[in-house]
């Protein structure tokens, strides 16, 4: 009887040791970009694919005579600063509509560091966009009743990098200089009905901790005009 019990113990112990070895056997090494967990993107790893570069993509359409499209766009923002007061005492609004009004002395802005804020430009019809750009700060010199002046471009933050995104997922990264002029990039025509502008990075400020953009440029043509 004692011998039988010992034999059973040996068999069971060997089975447990084998089970521990099997569970601890290292599996295949995760491939590049795979975190190895159960929350992966699925077969083919499509979630890790880089977005297509808008500057390198084939044009969707031929646009022989691009023209401004901002008058066709409705602008909205993820966040907007409350209204303020200019040096002469007049009320100043900072809504997203200021981005497409053709006036660089008006601005959209948010309080503080605007990194991560998203501006959306929606069209009632499909358009083919060939140029995007922006005035990356508040292009306004304010004059007080006593004649004193404040240059708001120098006082506020300005945007140093943005990301443009189109309906088909193509993306354009744009770096911006410390320059109050309109800064544009020309791309192969992108067919879209919305354009998103995300603030990726901003500068420090000269006493006014706010992030403004005075104007946006979108050029191209409505798709219906291109045949």
Q: Which pTM does this prediction carry?
A: 0.77
Residues in the chain: 227
223 and 125 Cβ atoms separated by less than 8 Å: yes
Among the listed ranges 51-55, 103-107, 210-214, which one has the minimum average pLDDT value? Answer: 51-55
Query: What percent of the chain clears pLDDT 70, i.e. is strictly above it?
Result: 78
Domain assignment present for residue 3? The answer is no
Mean pLDDT, residues 151-166 taken together = 98
Q: Does the residue 120 lie in any domain?
A: yes
168, 192 contact by CB (below 8 A): yes
In 56-207, alpha helices (H): 152-155
Q: What is the DSSP secondary structure assignment for residue 136, as one 8-state letter?
A: -
Q: Is residue 222 part of a domain?
A: yes
Cα–Cα distance for residue pair 159/115, rounded to 1 Å:
9
Contacts of 71 (CB under 8 A, 6+ apart): 100
Contacts of 207 (CB under 8 A, 6+ apart): 155
Q: Would 135 be classed as within a structural domain?
A: yes
Average pLDDT value for residue range 173-197 = 97
User: How far is Cα 139 from Cα 104, in angstroms, rounded to an integer?
Assistant: 6
Asked if residue 203 belongs to a domain, the reply is yes
Does residue 144 lie within any of the structural domains?
Answer: yes
pLDDT band at 36 (very low <50, low <70, confident <90, very high): very low
- Can you give the pLDDT at residue 48? 54
Please report the DSSP string for 79-90 in residue order.
--PPPEE-TTS-
CA end-to-end distance (rounded Å), the chain: 95
Report if residue 124 sits inside a domain.
yes
- Looking up residue 141, the CATH number of its domain turns out to be 2.60.120.260
Q: How many structural domains is the chain composed of?
A: 1
In a domain, 44, yes or no: no
Range of the domain at 213: 50-226
Give the CB-side neighbour count of residue 16, counting CA atoms within 13 A. 6
């Amino acid at each position: 009887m004692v011998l039988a019990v010992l034999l059973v113990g040996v068999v069971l112990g060997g089975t447990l040791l084998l089970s521990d070895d099997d569970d601890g056997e290292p599996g295949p090494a995760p491939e590049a970009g795979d975190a190895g967990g159960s929350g992966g993107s699925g077969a083919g790893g499509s979630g890790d694919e880089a977005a297509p570069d808008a500057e390198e993509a084939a044009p969707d359409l031929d646009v022989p005579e691009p023209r401004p499209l901002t008058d066709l766009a409705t602008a909205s923002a993820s966040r907007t600063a409350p209204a303020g007061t200019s040096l002469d005492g007049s009320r100043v609004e900072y809504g997203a509509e200021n981005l497409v009004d053709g006036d660089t002395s008006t601005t959209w802005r948010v309080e503080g560091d605007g990194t991560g804020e998203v501006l959306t430009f929606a069209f009632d019809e499909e358009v083919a966009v060939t140029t995007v750009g922006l005035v990356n700060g508040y292009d306004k010199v304010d004059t007080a009743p006593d004649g004193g002046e404040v240059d708001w471009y120098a006082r506020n933050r300005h945007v140093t990098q943005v990301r443009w995104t189109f309906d088909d997922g193509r993306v354009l990264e744009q770096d911006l200089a410390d320059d109050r002029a309109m800064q544009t990039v020309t791309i192969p025509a992108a067919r879209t009905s919305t354009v998103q502008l995300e603030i990726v990075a901003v500068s420090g400020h000269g006493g006014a901790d706010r992030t403004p953009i005075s104007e946006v440029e979108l050029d191209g043509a409505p798709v219906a005009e291109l045949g």
